[in-house]
Amino acid sequence: MTGTTTARMTYAQALNDALRLEMLADDRVVVLGEDVGRYGGVFSVTRGLMDEFGADRVLDTPISENGIVGAAMGMAMSGLRPVVEIMYTDFLCLALDSIANGVAAFPFAYNGQVTMPVVVRTQGGAGINAGPQHSKSLEAWTAHLPGLHTVLPSNPADAKGLLTAALRSDEPVILVEHKLLYSTEGEVPSGEHLVPLGTAQVVRPGTDATVLALSRMVPEALVAAARLAEQGLDCEVVDVRSLRPLDVATLAASARRTGRVVVAAEAWVRYGPSAEIAAAVTESAFDDLRAPVVRLGSLGVPYPASPALEQAVLPDAAAIQQAVEQLVKRTP
């Protein structure tokens, strides 16, 4: 359900709006994490929530990621609906025991006698010269785990809609935000706004090639498509949005329409999300593909802090444009 009016917001403000509205609607929703209270979150997503809802519902925690997720797990089993903020995706490494062996597994291990309405918000990606321990894209780690949803909003409206859907889910959701998107602006539906988990979206129709893009690569793909249009190439762009469940039907339908597919994700290419997307599309649309699916991602090195080197590692609109041009050239 979506409101009929919109307001211009940043991606961070849209996430804050989703949290605030759900905390107003459901007093079981609680927020916990490092600096989420008085400080308002390292990227300001939780700003003002402690003032409005108090320290009983917005909890500043010690620096202990595994303990934070473990506490959220106990809260969920006690009837609350906790929202965890993990400051950087890189720190998910410290919380993977609670996520993989607890949050994802307990509803199965207890034969459905417990639900796990836990939302873990975290942010990933490079682009601000934060170095190898604050720049990774690790969404493939959580998407690999049965029992978890993993979603990645690429714009403010989806940020609000996907977080709201996650907050209402009785199943655990990992929401991976991107640090370069927090200040981007867009029109966001006012009031209640949900984007169903597990749905991809065609954000630009086209006929000559498809770019299946994830998170920050969506705006980069749209820039590339606009440049390709100047050359007479009509490029379709699909926002993957959700890695688990993966909306294979929408992705494969686009592949069948154009016959040429480039997958653009910021994560490392080998064993990353682009590999799974490419395999799923190939399995479903092989007979309609005119060439093998092309994958784009970061170079397989730890992310550099040097601005020049970091830019050399990351995929961008120019790389997407070049990949589509080469793919079309191979398949006249």
Tally the residues of the chain: 332
Nearest 5°: phi and psi at 51? -60, -40
Pairing of strands 201-204, 29-33: unpaired
Q: How far is 270 from 260, CA to CA, in rounded Å?
A: 21
Which residue, among 275, 213, 217, has the nearest Cα to 250 in the 3D structure?
Answer: 213
Q: Which of 134, 149, 178, 193 is catalytic?
A: 134
β-strand partners of 121: 85, 175
Cβ-Cβ contacts under 8 Å for 54 (sequence gap 6 or more) = none
Q: In the chain, at which residue ranges do the beta strands (DSSP E only) sit?
A: 6-10, 29-33, 58-60, 81-86, 119-124, 149-151, 173-178, 185-189, 201-204, 209-213, 235-239, 242-244, 261-268, 294-298
Determine whether 267 is exposed, middle or buried from the number of CB atoms within 10 Å of its CB (0-12, 13-18, 19+). Answer: buried
Establish how many alpha carbons lie within 13 A of residue 175's alpha carbon, considering only the half-sphere containing its beta carbon. Answer: 27
Active site residue 134: yes
Nearest 5°: phi and psi at 128? -120, 20
In 3-state terms, what secondary structure has residue 36? coil
- Catalytic residues, which ones? 134
